[in-house]
Structure 1
Amino acid sequence: MKITEKTIIGDILKINPNAAEILMSNGMGCIGCPSAQMESLEDAALIHGLDIKDLLEQLNKGLE
């Protein structure tokens, strides 16, 4: 399964075992908050001022 900008953060954490470390290293320390269970990667990246393309590349590396 490929992670997209529309994938929910909670689902990303299930899809990629390294997602928590990747997201936190990019400044997204609130992955455990309740809104992360309903927030898309795109929304979270926008809020945190992150480059969505770079983040997607990191999260999808090794999943294909």
Structure 2
Amino acid sequence: MAKITENMTIMQVLQQDRDSAAVFMKYGLHCLGCPGATMESIADAGKVHGIDVSKLVEDLNKFFESKGE
């Protein structure tokens, strides 16, 4: 399993494991099915929503590591 980076789109992460939606939701990113999720990077979403992108990416990687992937 490749590391999650801030340059990946939200959809790329969700395609790896849909359960990762819970991590995005924790950060207030609730519109996971909107067009922006397929086009904008995690970094772009973080800027728009005022989210600490490095912490979000860290939590996403912890999520995937905990699943043993």
Q: Same fold (TM over 0.5)?
A: yes
Partner Cα distance (2:58, 2:17) in 1: 12
Greater per-residue helix proportion: 2
Partner Cα distance (2:19, 2:60) in 1: 8
Partner Cα distance (1:16, 1:51) in 2: 22
Matches within 5 A, 1:1-64: 1-61=2-62, 62=65
Q: Which amino acid aligns with 2:61?
A: N
- The alignment of Structure 1 onto Structure 2 pairs a total of residues equal to 64
- 5+ long unaligned stretches in structure 1: none
| Structure of higher CA gyration radius | 2
Aligned-partner SS, 1:47: helix
- For the 8 Å contact 1:3–1:60, the answer to whether it is kept is yes
- 5+ long unaligned stretches in structure 2: none
RMSD (Å), alpha carbons? 1.5
- For the 8 Å contact 1:16–1:59, the answer to whether it is kept is no
Partner Cα distance (1:16, 1:53) in 2: 20
Shift of 1:42: 0.2
TM-score when normalising by structure 1: 0.88
Task: Give me the identity figure in percent.
Answer: 44
Residue 60 to residue 3, structure 1, CA distance change in 2 (3 Å): same
